[in-house]
Structure 1
Amino acid sequence: MLVLPNLFRLLRLTFFPVMTRIGLISDTHNYLDDAVFRHFEKVDEIWHAGDFGNPEIAEKLGSFKPIRGVYGNIDGEYIRKIFPEKLRFQCEGVSVYMKHIGGYPPRYNPATIKELWAKTPKLFIAGHSHILKIIYDEKLECLHMNPGAAGKEGWHKVRTLITFAIDGENMKDCNIIELGKR
């Protein structure tokens, strides 16, 4: 279930600006480690960059914290009805663009590079590769984040997450979290 920040939070941000702490996850592929909840305990929102695997993953994350996300190439009809393929939104003063398959600087896929040049976000998030990357794209003046894979399916060696904060127009306090071997 897609849960957007509630009215109270929006009012609080408008009148009493505070940082928004984000837990970034991707490629769970039907597996959600209990440690995710411990690592995301202090986040305000969870962002999932696709390949949930099953509806229960989305429901567990969404019942824990507000969630934003996109569907991935393995996600079925249920997830695709709830989450879009692409998501553009504003978090505090940061424009965000998220999609599951997008590539990374400078190797974006053709569709993604057109979308990024047409409307460049301050933060571009992708999943799919199962490789954690945080790269600043000098040409686009855009930060790219891929949290790697938190699930056990795939060829990655270590399961990973990212936490970070958005404070006005700034992204800071980035933490790479290793959940252990897959």
Structure 2
Amino acid sequence: MLIGLIADTHGYLDPRVPPALKGVHLILHVGDIGAEGVLTALARIAPVTAVAGNNDAKLAQLGLPLRVDMELEGVKLHHVHRLIDAAPGSGTRIVVYGHSHKAVIAEREGILWVNPGAAGRVGFHREVTLALLRVANGRCEAELVFLGPRGSALLPNETPEL
């Protein structure tokens, strides 16, 4: 199973993101979504599971959770916006988080920690990033995808709420 990991869009979906997510089976947005239109656009690519970030108060009507625990292909995954709020349960093999706008893949004590970086245009990051997670037969691996400098164009027909 191929999973797209995205974070910190802050109401903007860079036009380079959809092609980079082509072929994924699921998209996990790890918060600071910023506008419902971002989730709508991502859902055109694949089913989306999202958690609320610290800047998502405007999306309260969506009822987004702060954490999601799921099992994919026999691998337990914990999905949260801020690393400080991570509370992986017993047997968790992957923790996906955002907030820092810093793309990271690290393995510690049997857990794969993945921060896809930031795919929006708000923040200190200079490059648009996301991550791809492959999970199969109880195994998992992640890779960062660097899409180039932050852009300024919106997707056609998308007007984020600012």
TM range (shorter): 0.7 to 0.9
Aligned residues with identical type, % of pairs: 32
Q: Report whether the alignment pairs 1:162 with 2:131.
A: yes
Q: Distance in 1 between matches of 2:44 and 2:126?
A: 29
Q: Distance in 1 between matches of 2:111 and 2:61?
A: 27
Q: How far did 1:120 drift?
A: 4.6
TM-score by length of 1: 0.77
Q: Which has the higher helix share?
A: 1
Consecutive unaligned residues of structure 1, counting only runs of 5 or more, are 1-19, 103-108
Q: Distance in 1 between matches of 2:60 and 2:33?
A: 8
Deviation string for 1:116-138 (max 9, x for gaps)?
Answer: 3x535100111000000001012
Q: Distance in 2 between matches of 1:145 and 1:47?
A: 12
Deviation string for 1:15-67 (max 9, x for gaps)?
Answer: xxxxx101110000111012111111111111111111111101111232101
Q: Report whether the alignment pairs 1:23 with 2:4.
A: yes
Consecutive unaligned residues of structure 2, counting only runs of 5 or more, are 151-162
Q: Distance in 1 between matches of 2:55 and 2:78?
A: 20
- When the two chains are superposed, the root-mean-square deviation of aligned CA atoms in Å is 1.6
TM-score by length of 2: 0.86
Q: How far did 1:146 drift?
A: 0.3
Q: How far did 1:176 drift?
A: 1.8
Please name the residue that 2:100 is paired with: 129
Q: Which has the larger radius of gyration?
A: 1
Please name the residue that 1:69 is paired with: 50
Contact 1:55 1:79 in 2 (8 A): no
Matches within 5 A, 1:31-180: 31-78=12-59, 81-102=62-83, 109=84, 111-112=85-86, 115-116=87-88, 119-138=90-109, 141-172=110-141, 174-180=142-148
Greater RCO, 1 or 2 (C-alpha within 8 Å, sep 6+): 2
